Amino acid sequence: MTTGFFFHSECEGHITPEKHPEASTRLSVIFDHLDRPEYKDLKRIEATAATIETLNLAHDKDYIQYVLDNVPSEGHFSLDDDTYLSKGSVLAALRGVGATCQAIDHIMDGRLDNAFCAIRPPGHHAEPDRAMGFCLFNNAAIGALYARTTHFCHRVAIIDFDVHHGNGTQTIVGRNKGLFYASTHQSPLFPGTGHLNDTGDGVIVNAPLAAGSGGRAFRMAFETRIFPELEKFNPDFIIISAGFDAHVMDPLADLRLEDDDFFWVTDEIMKLAKKYCKGRVVSCLEGGYNQNILGQSVATHISALMQ
């Protein structure tokens, strides 16, 4: 199994205010863990930058221009209460979207079996017309639309196990037939979306979980609700929104998952990907804000991709 690891130093150039949870050092702790011998076979690839046209697959032109027009020469520009632009933010975001699309290209042409994109800012809260929840552009949703338009993958699934619901991804999938979005997330919790009976033009499968649910409830949600619907969908490609803020030690939520749960869900997704879409999986980093455990959680996830 050949697993790609996409990254770019410009993703560390998105600088958030002091003590903001979504800090550039989130990436350095991941890199440190992947220096271990068991990850020597990862194919490390420097990400290219996406074009503005690629952003427009999921985002309104006026919103994209608004972001571009407000990049500060120093300090920060606030897009909402917790989402900021710094001088390097757009360059970072373009590398994040570019990594996602480049990984799809490499998998579709047979150079890789699957891939993980160590990118920031995260994306799944970004709506078509606004930033939200630390997110500028929706990496996973853009990737899904890119796979469909560029590689003619008619059915693209996004699986999101971040502790927060990906409201932006659901909005975009809800507007596009041929896409699938499934999410486990703590509820009630920011952003307050992701209800059990949500529907759209694309397939939407939400599995909200109460605070304190733990790994057993998490796994049951996938086994009884999400995976049966994913099998019905019969995907041509799977994108993972890989958030690790559901970990028991994460400060922003309380689902109480362990690294074994992240390994389990990744392994199960890979089994279905091998059955339905030749193992084609791209995973994009979303949340995870305890830097003492984030690197290990991501390494565990990548171990399951590499099997």
pLDDT tens digits, residue range 27-75? 999 999 999 999 999 999 999 999 999 999 999 999 999 999 999 999 9
Q: pLDDT per residue over 123-142, tens digit each? A: 999 999 999 999 999 999 99
At 284, the pLDDT band (50, 70, 90 cuts) reads: very high
What are the C-alpha distances in Å from 163 to residues 36, 185, 248, 284? 27, 4, 11, 15
Going along the chain from its start, the domains and CATH numbers come out as 3-306 (3.40.800.20)
Is residue 156 within 8 A of residue 180, CB to CB? The reply is: yes
Per-residue pLDDT, 151: 98
What whole-number distance in Å separates Cα of residue 166 and Cα of residue 189? 12
CA dihedral (144, 148, 151, 157) in degrees, to 10, reads 50
- What backbone phi and psi angles, to 5 degrees, belong to 282? -120, 130
Beta bridge partners, 285, equal 242
**205: closest CA among 188, 224, 190?**
224
**9: closest CA among 99, 106, 115, 82?**
99
Q: Across all residues in the chain, what is the average pLDDT?
A: 98
Task: Catalogue the active-site residues.
Answer: 125
What whole-number distance in Å separates Cα of residue 89 and Cα of residue 94? 9
What whole-number distance in Å separates Cα of residue 179 and Cα of residue 174? 8
What is the pLDDT averaged over residues 182-210?
A: 98
Is residue 85 within 8 A of residue 79, CB to CB? The reply is: yes
What whole-number distance in Å separates Cα of residue 114 and Cα of residue 4? 6
At 1, the pLDDT band (50, 70, 90 cuts) reads: confident
Q: pLDDT per residue over 202-234, tens digit each? A: 999 999 999 999 999 999 999 999 999 999 999
Q: pLDDT per residue over 257-272, tens digit each? A: 999 999 999 999 999 9
What whole-number distance in Å separates Cα of residue 162 and Cα of residue 209? 12
What is the pLDDT averaged over residues 11-16?
A: 98
Match 């600088």 to its residue by tokens.
Answer: 15
Match 């932006």 to its residue by tokens.
Answer: 168
Kindly tell me if the per-residue pLDDT of 77 is higher than 90.
yes
Who contacts 281 (Cβ-Cβ below 8 Å, separation ≥6)? Answer: 107, 114, 115, 237, 238, 239, 240, 269, 270, 273, 305
At 11, the pLDDT band (50, 70, 90 cuts) reads: very high
Cβ count within 10 A of residue 173: 28
Per-residue pLDDT, 307: 93
